[in-house]
A and B are shown apart, each in its own frame.
Chain A
Amino acid sequence: MSREKSWKEISIAGVCSKSSVGFMTGDWKTYTPIRDLAKCTKCLTCVMFCPEGAIKWRPEMGDIEFDFSFCKGCGICANECPTKAITMKIEGE
């Protein structure tokens, strides 16, 4: 990996050059959302409310998919799920 530029070398008005998609925030989490497939009605409420965009709607699969490399384990999805299909668990439990 090449060395990142120091603050003396960058342009005066700083330009952010890398997409934050390369910065995995998934390791922040304490709790992990676990979905009960039998209860899920695919209403997409969790997809709408996830602040990280870590829950993705996959039209080709007709299902949602959790991206744990970004999930911070806040629990909004579990709290808002109308059928209570999502529960928050500590990893390894």
Chain B
Amino acid sequence: MTTQEWKFTAKDIASKPDLFLSGHRACAGCGPAAMLRLIMKATRGPTIVTQATGCMEIVGSVYPYTSWALPWLHTAFENAAANASGIDAALKAMRKKGKVKQEHIDIIALAGDGGTCDIGLQALSGAVERGHDFLFILYDNEGYMNTGIQRSSATPTGAATTTTPAGSVIPGKLEKKKPITEIMLAHDMEYVATATPYYWKDMLTKVRKGLEVNGPAFLHIFAPCPRGWRCEPGKTMEYSKLAVESCVFPIWEAVNGKRQLSTPSKLIALAPQKKKPVKDYLAGQGRFRHLYTPQNKHVLDEMQRFTDERWERLLQKCESA
């Protein structure tokens, strides 16, 4: 990683041409689309993007249209990381033969939470173990949204999806959200981070840092989905902010395993009275509507307890680092 920090202002970013173009067919207020448009502005030169099946692949490549202004490859649901390692190996071989003139080409693998936490996990784990030079970006909208809002392992407890419908039998999903960043951190990666698009400066810095790493890097980006979360399309960014403020999704980065909270989360750690209750984050999301009834109050309490527990554990880990 270079020691020189990448400095930028809002105007620098706004003046950069889009690499994820307008005219894509994401729903109005799509969080992942907003996030994707932004993160593509953090690229530093020639870049190849490979994408697993998912919302952002579907909306960006409706035949014969493409929303990508750079080399882009799509493979099956489980293959984003495998594809990235293939590209990395191909570039190395072509460079040996003198067919690639560029000194460095960045590789970004993009997948949703289904393509990372469930289906793509083994390919990702393998690619990281082999040490290919790529940045894996997980955009987490907490479910299989484009196929009709099914649960994934990244869906939080209590969320109603079409496969975990809330009713008299179950109060939404019963299981906990998979701690994917902890799993990736356990691979001894040089760079692992979490980010949300509301804190875009922080997010773009993390993307650039991930690209600068010589080896695999993993970035977990929280991207609200108004369609699947059954919330107002205009509130996408508000929820990505509330998730950080209520410590449901704290943002941090780990360089060489050393964990450090990023500024918005650090401010909450320093002033715990600023921490918002989980209720504030859940309110207005249709997928948690059923939790506001008397018979489901225990789920809400359990979620608050679990969130606090995870936050405390994270603080301890950050302190010990």
Contact = CB atoms under 8 A, between A and B. Distances in A.
A78 B33 contact: no
**Interface size bracket, B side:** 35 or more
A22 B65 contact: yes
Contacts of B125: none
Interface stretch (B126-134, B149-157, B229-237): B229-237
Given A20-B60, A76-B234, A53 B15 contact: no
Contacts of A25: 22-25
Interface string B33-76: 11001100000000000000000000011111111010000000
Contacts of B21: 19-21, 53
A48 interface: yes
Contact of B64 (A17, A48, A75): A17
A57 B15 contact: yes
Contacts, number: 118
B22 A67 contact: yes
Interface stretch (B6-14, B85-93, B100-108, B186-194): B6-14
B275 to A, nearest CB: 22
B306 interface: no
A80 B28 contact: no
B195 interface: no
B238 A80 contact: yes
| A contact patch SS | loop
B70 to A, nearest CB: 12
**Interface size bracket, A side:** 35 or more
A3 to B, nearest CB: 12
Nearest to B25: A25
A28 B234 contact: no
B14 A73 contact: no
Interface in B151-175: none
A74 B233 contact: yes
B118 interface: no
Contacts of B23: 19-25, 70
A78 B66 CA distance: 28
A78 B34 contact: no
Contacts of B63: 10, 14, 16
A51 B31 CA distance: 7
Contacts of B24: 20, 25, 52
B124 interface: no
A16 B64 contact: yes
Contacts of A17: 64, 66
Closest 7 A/B residue pairs (Cβ): A75-B234, A74-B29, A16-B66, A20-B23, A57-B14, A74-B28, A51-B34
